[in-house]
């Protein structure tokens, strides 16, 4: 949960069309219908839904690539799909849909952030193609020639720039590895080297860098902090410990006990949950938490008790409600570090683990003391391994809002003094009812509750925390109902809201999704779950209309 700072937001329009197509699509009695959502800035489609093909027994890959081949003119890519896309994954969901995720490539080089998510139903009908393809790359003059700068030179340039930003050389969690990509910004496409620098000292950071492969100039960089080192060789018996959390409440949790004592290690969930003590230093993960008698009741124990127990509850929420085994769907270990730094007013997902400060006692108390904060941060990990929403501008605001949504829904799921406030349990302890954000009324903290009043500056990486209020208000209305800006929304409850947004996040959103694409993706998710003429779909549409997203 990064400190709030003050996106240039692209507009989009929806075009509903009925398409007469070649016989490859429409056999007698099988009408094809399409709704094409077009990004007004790029003029490229970013979401197509409907009955896009006729039933087929061919593989999902063949169905999708055949469709894209016949849509070359619409998407404006120059070559056949087999040379324009690479299959990243193929999975089947609980509804029977086969989901293909495709990476756009140009001359064999991946186009950064250009991911397509396509869905084929049980009858072999393509029902949706989500994601924006960069058009007409063959016409980009800068891509006519290849790299002139070596990858190690680009790495050195980015490292030097980062050192200048920080004032010293950071201690990296792992080596940065340049990847040769096509990077597109403001309509300009360039061969570039992309790399990430993850570090926690001298301050937490996870910087994404792009260096021009022809000139060696830094094209762009941003901090996307929002994955720890495994414990090996540890044996013992799985036990249950008890302890008091930050707020003084008693809870139980899984531990591992041997002759040394009891460790905050939970081997009953996925590849494990591990909780560490940084000892008020800024090195991670720190020391694996060890207790003599498996009863953790001291004030110093509190942050560790909550971090460990709430990580388990968040794991259980996603596993039991959404059938997702840890944040990556494959049981990835959850690692937390508490007592990070001194009076550190933050908590965050670093890219490989959770980190919690103790707060200064005035602005914050220990940040692991709130279930919604822990679930918020771990939802960032879910996002990183699914939609991978770029942490800038509109996609970054959606990223933040998804974390708020599932932080809140986890709190409600476990009836942990639930409400539609974020971080109220650990924020400004002397001010009753205060919170970092209100999803019911984002304006209480100065955030927008409607797209028409969105923040359009460059601070906060284009308003990733600020403009999250727009989506947060839509989620609140969808669940609870209400009237907003003259639009009435019929609430559908938390469970259905969670199912719709989880499917939206994991199945339809792509790295550069904007708010308009977010709307049509959510409508599609609700359609998959409840049918196109359902009251749930109507409520989704009304909720987004109420916050000005059309």
Residues with a known catalytic role: 377, 465
Question: Number of helices (H) and strands (E), helices first, in the chain?
Answer: 12, 27
Q: Rounded to whole angstroms, how far apart are CA atoms 439 and 449?
A: 9
What would the DSSP string read from start to end of 34-84?
EEEEEETTTTEEEEEEEE-S----S-HHHHHHHHHHTTHHHHT-SS-HHHH
In 3D, which of 442, 479, 464, 443 has the Cα closest to residue 514? 464
- Per DSSP, helices labelled H in 108-175 are 151-166
Q: Rounded to whole angstroms, how far apart are CA atoms 232 and 516?
A: 46
Structure letter (DSSP) for residue 133 = P
In 3D, which of 365, 361, 475, 477 has the Cα closest to residue 424? 365
Cα 360 to Cα 204, 281, 300, 373, 438: the distances in Å are 18, 15, 14, 17, 22
Burial of 64 (0-12, 13-18, 19+ CB in 10 A): buried
| Chain centroid offset of residue 217 CA | 29
Helices 535-546 and 468-480 cross at an angle (nearest 10°) of 140
Three-state SS for 137? helix
Strand partners, 92: 98
Three-state SS for 330? coil
Q: Rounded to whole angstroms, how far apart are CA atoms 315 and 375?
A: 9
Whole-angstrom distance between the N-terminal and C-terminal Cα of the chain?
29
Identify whether the C-beta of residue 382 lies closer than 8 Å to the C-beta of residue 503: no
In 3D, which of 548, 547, 515, 522 has the Cα closest to residue 537? 522
Structure letter (DSSP) for residue 109 = E
| Omega prior to 33 cis, within 30 of 0 | no
Identify whether the C-beta of residue 377 lies closer than 8 Å to the C-beta of residue 225: no
**Rg of the chain, C-alpha, whole Å:** 24
Three-state SS for 538? helix
If one counts every other C-beta atom within 10 angstroms of the C-beta of residue 258, the result is 13
| Omega prior to 285 cis, within 30 of 0 | yes
β-strand 205-212 against 237-244: which pairing, if any?
unpaired
């Amino acid at each position: 949960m990064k400190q709030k700072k003050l996106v240039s937001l692209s507009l989009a329009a929806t075009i509903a069309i009925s398409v007469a197509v070649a016989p490859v699509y429409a056999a007698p009695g099988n009408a094809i219908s399409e709704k094409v959502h077009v990004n007004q800035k790029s003029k490229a489609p970013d979401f197509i839904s409907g009955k896009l093909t006729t039933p087929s027994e061919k593989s999902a890959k063949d169905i999708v690539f055949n469709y894209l081949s016949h849509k070359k003119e619409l998407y404006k890519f120059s070559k056949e799909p087999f040379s324009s896309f690479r299959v990243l994954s193929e999975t089947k969901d609980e509804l029977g849909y086969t989901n293909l995720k495709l990476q756009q490539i140009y001359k064999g080089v991946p186009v950064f952030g250009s991911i397509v998510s396509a869905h084929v139903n049980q009858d072999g009908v393509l029902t949706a193609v989500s994601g924006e393809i960069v058009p007409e790359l063959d016409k980009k003059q800068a891509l006519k020639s290849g790299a002139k700068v070596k990858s190690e030179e680009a790495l050195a340039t980015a490292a030097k720039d980062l050192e200048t930003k920080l004032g010293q050389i950071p201690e990296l969690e792992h080596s940065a590895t340049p990847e040769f990509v096509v990077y597109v910004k403001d309509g300009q496409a360039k061969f570039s080297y992309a790399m990430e620098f993850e570090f926690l000292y001298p301050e937490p950071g996870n910087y994404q860098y792009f260096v021009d492969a022809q000139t060696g100039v830094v094209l762009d960089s941003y901090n996307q902090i929002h994955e720890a080192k495994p414990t090996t060789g540890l044996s013992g018996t799985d036990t249950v410990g008890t302890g008091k959390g930050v707020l003084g409440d008693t809870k139980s949790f899984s531990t591992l006990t041997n002759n040394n004592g009891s460790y905050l290690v939970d081997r009953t969930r996925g590849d494990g949950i591990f909780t560490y003590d940084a000892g008020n230093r800024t090195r991670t993960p720190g020391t694996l938490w060890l207790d003599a008698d498996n009863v953790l009741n001291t004030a110093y124990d509190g942050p560790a008790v909550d971090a460990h127990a709430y990580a388990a509850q968040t794991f259980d929420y996603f596993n039991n409600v959404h059938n997702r085994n840890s944040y990556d769907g494959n049981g990835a270990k959850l690692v937390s570090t508490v007592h990070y730094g001194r009076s550190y007013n933050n908590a965050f997902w670093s890219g490989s683990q959770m980190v919690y400060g103790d707060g200064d006692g005035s602005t914050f108390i220990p940040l692991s003391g709130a279930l919604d904060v822990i679930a918020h941060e771990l939802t960032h990990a879910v996002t990183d391994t699914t939609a991978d929403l770029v942490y800038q501008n509109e996609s970054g605001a959606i990223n933040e809002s998804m974390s708020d949504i599932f932080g809140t829904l986890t709190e409600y799921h476990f009836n942990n003094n639930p409400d539609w406030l974020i971080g109220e349990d650990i924020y400004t302890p002397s001010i009753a009812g205060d919170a970092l954000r209100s999803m019911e009324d984002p304006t209480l903290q100065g955030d927008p509750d409607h797209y028409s009043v969105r923040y359009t500056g460059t601070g906060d990486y284009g308003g990733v925390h600020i403009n999250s209020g727009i989506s947060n208000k839509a989620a609140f209305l969808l669940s609870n109902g209400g009237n907003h800006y003259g639009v009435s929304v019929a609430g559908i409850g938390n469970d259905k809201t969670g199912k719709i947004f989880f499917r939206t996040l994991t199945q339809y959103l792509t790295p550069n999704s904007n708010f308009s694409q977010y709307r049509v993706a959510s409508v599609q998710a609700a359609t998959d779950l409840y049918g196109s003429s359902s009251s749930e779909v109507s409520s989704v549409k009304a909720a987004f209309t109420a916050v000005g997203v059309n």
